[in-house]
Structures are given as C-alpha cells and as structure tokens.
Amino acid sequence: MTETRHSAVETRGPTGTLERHGPIGTQRDKGPGAADGQEAEALLRQARASVDPELRAAIASLPVSMRRIALYHFGWEHADGTPAEGNAGKAIRPALVLASAAALGGTGARAAAVRAAVAVELVHNFSLLHDDVMDRDTTRRHRPTAWTVFGDADAILAGDALQALALRLLAADPHPASAAAVTRLADCVVELCAGQHADTAMERRGPDEVTLEETLAMAEAKTGALLGCACALGGLYAGATEEDVEALDAFGREAGLAFQLIDDVIGIWGDPCRTGKPAGADLAVRKKSLPVVAALTSGTPAAVELAELYGVPYEDDKEELERIALAVERAGGRDWAQAKAADRMARAMHELSRAVPDPEAAGGLLSLAEFVTRRST
C-alpha cells in the first residue's frame, strides 16, 4: 500500500449524538473521507442490487411458514403478508465478498461470486434472528423484531432455515471454489455460535468477573469471523492463493473488530432516531460490551461506580442510564474503544496490503472498511 488511512474519530457532541472529527491518517484529495464514503455507498447499492434477486429466489423456496417470517425480517413484507418496502440492511458482508473477488479477479470473478455473497447474507441474517431472541431485542431496522411478532420458536426456526439455504446455495454452485467455500462458511457458523455462547455466558457473570481479553476474543468470533469469511470467499471465487485468502480473512476480521468497537460505542451514545434502537438499550440489559468492559477494568474510581450501577437490574430509569453512560466515559471506555478501533483498522490495512498490494485494486475493500468504522448510525 502506498498510503495509510484509518477510521475516523467520533466523539459526542452537545446533543449526545456522535460527531465525526476527521480520519486518523491521510485522505485522498477530495476532502476528509467524502470520496471514500461515496464509493462505499455505491458499492453497497451495487451489492444490494446484485444479491437481492437471488436472495429473494432462495427465500421463495422456503415453506410458507418460514418464508413469511424471512420476508418480514428482510423488510419485504409486513406481518400480515402484504408487500413492504422495508430496509433489508446495508449489505456490507455481500459487498465485501464481491469487492474481494473483484480486487483479485476483476469483474468476471465478481459476477461469479454473487451466489457466495448471497450465502454470506443469509448466514448473517440467520445470526440476527437468533441474536434478537437471545438478547430480547425488540427493534431492528426501525421495526419490531421477528420474535416479537411471530414468537421465539418461529423466529429461531426461520433463522435455521436461512442457514440451511446458505449452505445449500454454495453446495449446489458449480463454481470450482464452492466446496472450499461451503467448508469455510460452515466453520464460520460454528465460530459464530461459539462467540454467541461466550457472549451469553458472560452476561450471567458479575461486572468484575469478565476480562477485556475474553471480550475481545468473543467480539472477533461474533463479528470479525463473518466479515473475514466474506472477504475470504471473494478471494476463493477469484482463484486467489491460499496465502492471499488467509490475508483477506485476516483483513476482514480486523476490520470486523473495528466495526464492533464502533458499534458498541453507538449502542451507548448513538441517536435512536438513526440507529433504530432505543437509547442505552445495551446498558439497560447490562450488556458487557467492549467500552463497558474496558471501563470496568480500568482501575479508576469511575470503574467502581460503574460496577455498582451495573450490579443492579434496570428498572426503567432513563436518568440511571445516563449515569451509567457517563461512568463508562469517565472511566475511559469510550476513548479506549475509539483508539482500539483505529488500531484494528491499521492492522486491517496491513493485511489487505499483503493480499492486494495495488492500491487501486484494493480501493473498494478499503472504502468499505472505512465506511463501517466511520458511520454514526
């Protein structure tokens, strides 16, 4: 790579929402992140357009009982089955598959990797359906979560069906990389489940019983693994060497951890009108997110205060949530998370330069990685 660019720094403004104060590192000539943001948004739109037809076709193959839940979850139908023009998500993971294939194999490889991109999107949404049940989240993408509408059992079964669809899509793909791709995706699902298990187990432990190291390992498994797998699948479909595929996987994992760090910051201080989730939802359920654990283990007076607050169940007290958020910030959790996100992005850039040394070819992947850590929604 001929230039070093990392994620932007985001801090809380007077209203409490996140504000961007420019990137850590250098930028291209068109101003702070503007060109990269536009490129990333174009790649996300292209990915959505590429994967949605096959994604819809895959979901249409499900039994009616599973299909209606999946269509609701993706925002394509209302709960009563009438058509909707909802939000199916940003398509970050499919975009990474396609950008990785294009970076190493050009437009032909990108076209060949669409089915792999759909499979990754199905696995991502399988995990969302299950996570919402386990975390008892009531909103996603500005609408009630599937389990609140259809019940726990139906939401879990719909998630299981999406995972099966993903593996079937790859297994049936005549592309020579499909066998390696389905194995890698299946391994990723196991890692996702292990990460979620670690997350739920940590929630049952006291505020002083969780280490920062295990929280980082859990976040890599839950978030970094699938982003890494997405990039690796793109490399496989481009016919990349094993070394380059592993470098792409490492790039995605590091970028994924940066993504999770910023996501956890947004989970505490983000604007609910933009996030689609209630303010302080993670704090209300006493979630041991990365900023919280960093604050709890900081050894500061604010950490002691935070541990006391976190040891008491939430009782619908918004002022209490504000006190907890302030304690996390005073204990350094917010600053630590933002600095760690920049560090992980630096590592991601290094891994990307190993697989795709040409900055021009790597531009799409770089823009996507910066986009997910620059966001404030």
Predicted pLDDT of residue 35: 62
pTM of the model: 0.87
Q: Which tops the pLDDT comparison, 28 or 369?
A: 369
* Sign of the Cα pseudo-torsion (222, 227, 230, 236, in order): negative
* Domains recognised in the chain with CATH numbers: 30-371 (1.10.600.10)
- What pLDDT band is residue 325 in, cutting at 50, 70 and 90? very high
Cα–Cα nearest to 367, from 41, 51, 111: 41
What local confidence, expressed as pLDDT, does residue 305 receive? 95
The model's pLDDT over 270-301, given as tens digits with 9 standing for 90+, comes to 887 776 667 788 898 888 999 999 999 999 99
pLDDT at residue 88, rounded to an integer: 87
| Region 303-309 average pLDDT | 95
Question: Which whole number is the average pLDDT over 317-343?
Answer: 94
Share of the chain above pLDDT 90, in %: 75
Whole-angstrom distance, CA of residue 202 vs CA of residue 259: 21
Residue 279, both tokens: 């303010």
- What's the mean per-residue pLDDT of the chain? 88
- What does the pLDDT read at residue 377? 42
For residue 8, pLDDT beyond 70: no
For 162-174, the pLDDT digits (tens) are 999 999 999 999 9
Residues 6+ apart with CB under 8 A from 145: 132, 137, 138, 139, 155
What region, left, alpha or beta, does residue 47 occupy, with left being phi > 0 and alpha being psi -120 to 50 degrees? alpha
State the burial class of residue 233 (Cβ atoms within 10 Å of its Cβ: 0-12, 13-18, 19+). Answer: buried
Structure tokens at 165: 């669809």
Which pLDDT score, from 0 to 100, does residue 275 have? 67
Mean pLDDT computed over 97-109: 97
- State which H helix or E strand residue 143 sits in: strand 143-144
For 89-111, what is the mean pLDDT?
96
Q: Would you state the pLDDT for residue 34?
A: 54
